[in-house]
Structure 1
């Protein structure tokens, strides 16, 4: 069996607010820790049937980038669900609704220009 590892390093200030976040992976081409300004980590607890989450961002994460990060995350969650659901027609219909919401979110948050 092959193993891969993802390592996250969080540097906190005296108030436990992230100053720096870096990540590295045994599978990546780049062997050094890479900086990031924000992260969402979600894990499924099959015993309690709920999501365990860690959402962190550095205090210097710009709001416009956070809006874009949320938009991109919502979009990719839809992609992941479609891959997981296979050819379930209900999943495809619901993801269409999610895509519509993503477009609405992007317009309201001014992540992308409204189409006329």
Structure 2
């Protein structure tokens, strides 16, 4: 059995707001710490049947990039949901909503 570790490091200011966020993985091709401006992490607690979340972004995360980050996260959640459940119809609905979200937020769709 193989084990991999993902490590997230958050440097906080005096008010406990994130200044910098980096992540690294033992399974990555390099051992470099990768700087990021935002992250969303969701974990499923099987015992309590609920999700646990960790949403962080640095103080200097631009609003336009945050909008794009949300849009792309919603899109990839659809990919993950389709892969995990095979529920094509609801994923198509999510894609429709993502297009609506992009339109309302003036995000260029790729």
Match of 2:58 in 1: 58
Long gaps (5+) in structure 1 = none
The answer for the alignment partner of 1:34 in structure 2 is 34
Alignment root-mean-square deviation, CA? 0.9
Hey, what's the Cα distance between the residues in 2 that align with 1:30 and 1:64?
30
Structure 1 runs (4+) greater than 3 angstroms displaced: none
What's the TM-score, normalizing by structure 2?
Answer: 0.96
Query: In structure 2, which of residues 89, 97, 104 is the aligned counterpart of residue 101 of structure 1?
Result: 97
Q: Which runs of 5+ in 2 are unaligned?
A: none
Residue 30 of structure 1, CA deviation: 2.1
Question: How many residues matched?
Answer: 109
* 1:59-79 per-position Cα deviation (integer Å, ceiling 9, x unaligned): 000000000000000000000
Indicate the residue corresponding to 1:6 in structure 2. Answer: 6
In the alignment, the residues of structure 2 paired with residue 93 and residue 85 of structure 1 have an alpha-carbon distance, to the nearest angstrom, of: 11
